[in-house]
Homo-oligomer: A and B are copies of this chain.
């Protein structure tokens, strides 16, 4: 029998271009967590997992020492852009297996993260930056579903606008459709404002077992669905460039585990690393039909509904790789606790987090419930 695992609290930093040490970013997010969770003491914490692409070693014991924690389990987790949700699921498994009762997961990245350069993917030739897979995906998606540049640009307009209500977001500007369409052309298919931007940021959460979590929270949020899939490492191994196989698999697994249908999801964090990723992801995880992702985005805009990426997505918030999956989880946590302030969706019961790496060669989907 698997123990029930919940999220008790969180800490976060402003996402910025600050030239801060990785240790400082981890510390800042974790200090904020202790401030947000008054009953939590250092002695309660059995494990400290750090999620990052930073090259520094032994960051979990370093964070533990800085914050006065002497955990049993302490190590770093890396899987590029979905390091954060990998660490969360690892924390889940430590608790569900009985090896830990309370786990701190802290993610952080600097704006110059080495995870942004995909040196290992030899299929790219000289093109080491994610923008090259994003360009191929965009070209393929536009052609397959007769989608135009101005359709995809709406994702950026929407998510930048939603980020205005998120005090921790990197972006503090509203952009019009024309702003996006006139922003710097980086490749034939992608403009500057179609991209999530590298930044410095940290995010941390506390997970705890059903028995222990009552000590720290009177309104914990439960992890009820988990799905993960790795198809490959290199993006040319993906079968299709207009859908995301690993995201589809991960979503099916997570929804099955949580016993929910896609139409029962009230609020979603979607990994919009580039504009095209939002409609492709929405389709791959079954929220809408193939080719209908942009219609859903347009519908959200016209009805002023911000249930898809309420915090502003990666495009609005910035993308500090190791922190992103944790920041996404924090947003759904806040929404389900009805504590998302001006971003609050109307009474959500079930939330979903979609976090992926490297052209969706791997994906994580989590379902949370209150």
Which residues does A use to contact B, with CB under 8 Å? Answer: 1-2, 23, 48, 53, 55-62, 64-65, 70-80, 83, 86-87, 89-90, 92-99, 114-115, 118-120, 226-234, 237, 253, 357-358, 361-362
Contact = CB atoms under 8 A, between A and B. Distances in A.
Copies of this protein chain in the complex: 2
A361 B61 contact: yes
A208 to B, nearest CB: 15
A92 B73 CA distance: 13
Nearest to A60: B79
A126 B234 CA distance: 41
Shortest 5 CB-CB contacts between residues of A and residues of B: A96-B97, A75-B79, A61-B233, A93-B97, A74-B230
A61 to B, nearest CB: 4
A60 B77 CA distance: 11
B76 A120 contact: no
**Taking each of A23, A62, A74, A87, which has the highest tally of chain B beta carbons within 10 Å of its own beta carbon?**
A74
A64 B237 CA distance: 12
Given A48-B230, A65-B237, A230-B60, A362 B1 contact: no
A120 B96 CA distance: 32
B77 A75 contact: yes
Nearest to A99: B93
Contact of A114 (B23, B55, B231): B55
A99 B89 contact: yes
Given A65-B234, A65-B237, A75-B78, 6 more contacts: A53-B57, A60-B230, A62-B120, A70-B230, A75-B86, A96-B99
